[in-house]
Amino acid sequence: MKMKLEGINMQRCILSKKNSITLISAILIALAFFGRFSLDNMAIFNWSLIIASILGVAPIAIQAYQALKVKVVSIDVLVTIAVIGAVLIQNYEESAIVTFLFLFGSYLEQRTLNKTRSAIKELTELAPESALKQMENGEFEEVDVDDVDEGDILLVKTGAKVPVDGTVLTGEGHINEASITGESLPVSKKVDSEVFAGSILENGTIQIRADRVGEDTTFGRIIELVEEAQDSKSEAERFIDRFSKYYTPAVLVLGFIVWFFSKDIELAITILVLGCPGALVIGVPVSNVAGIGNGARNGVLLKGSEVINDFSRVDTIVFDKTGTLTVGNPEVAEKEFYGKNTEEVLGYLASVERESDHPLAKAVLQDIGEITFSTVEETEVVKGGGIVAKIGVHRIAVGNVALMEKKNVKLSEKAKKDVERFEKNGNSLVLTAVDGELNVLMGIRDQIRPGVKKDLQKLKKLGVKNLVVLSGDNQGTVDLVARELGLTEAHGHMLPEGKSAYIEKMQAEGGIIAFVGDGVNDSPSLALADIGIAMGSGTDVAIETSDVVLMNSDFSRLPHALGLTKSTSRNMKQNITIAVGVVLVLLASLLFGEWMNMSIGMLVHEASILVVILNGMRLLRYRLRE
| Contacts with 41 (C-beta within 8 Å, 6 or more apart), sequence order | 35
In our burial notation (b when 16+ CB lie closer than 10 A, e otherwise), range 346-385 reads: bbbbbbbbeebeeebbbbbbebbeeeeebebeeeeebeeb
The dihedrals phi and psi of 57, each to the nearest 5 degrees, come to -80, -20
Which residue type is seen at 376?
V
User: Residue 385 and residue 479: Cα distance in Å, rounded?
Assistant: 24
CA dihedral sign of residues 299, 304, 308, 313? negative
Return the bridge partners of 132, or none.
142, 155
**CB burial of residue 573 (10 Å; 0-12, 13-18, 19+):** middle
User: In sequence order, what DSSP letters do the residues of 235-282 get, joined into one string?
Assistant: HHHHHHHHHHHHHHHHHHHHHHHHHHHH--HHHHHHHHHHT--HHHHH
> Among the residues of 38-143, which ranges form H helices?
42-69, 75-88, 92-116, 118-126
Which residue in the list 310, 320, 446, 522 is annotated as catalytic? Answer: 320
320 is annotated as an active-site residue: yes
Residue-wise DSSP of 533-567? EEESSS-HHHHHH-SEEEGGG-TTHHHHHHHHHHH
Q: Residue 571: which of 621, 612, 610, 531 has the closest Cα?
A: 612
C-alpha triplet 79, 81, 85: angle, nearest 5°: 115
- Cβ partners under 8 Å of residue 3, min gap 6: none
CA distances from 298 to 179, 186, 224, 270 (A): 9, 15, 17, 46
Specify the 3-state DSSP secondary structure of 338: coil
Which of 538, 613, 560, 548 is closest to 117 using CA atoms? 613
Q: Which residues, in sequence order, are bridge partners of residue 550? A: 300, 535
Catalytic residue IDs: 320
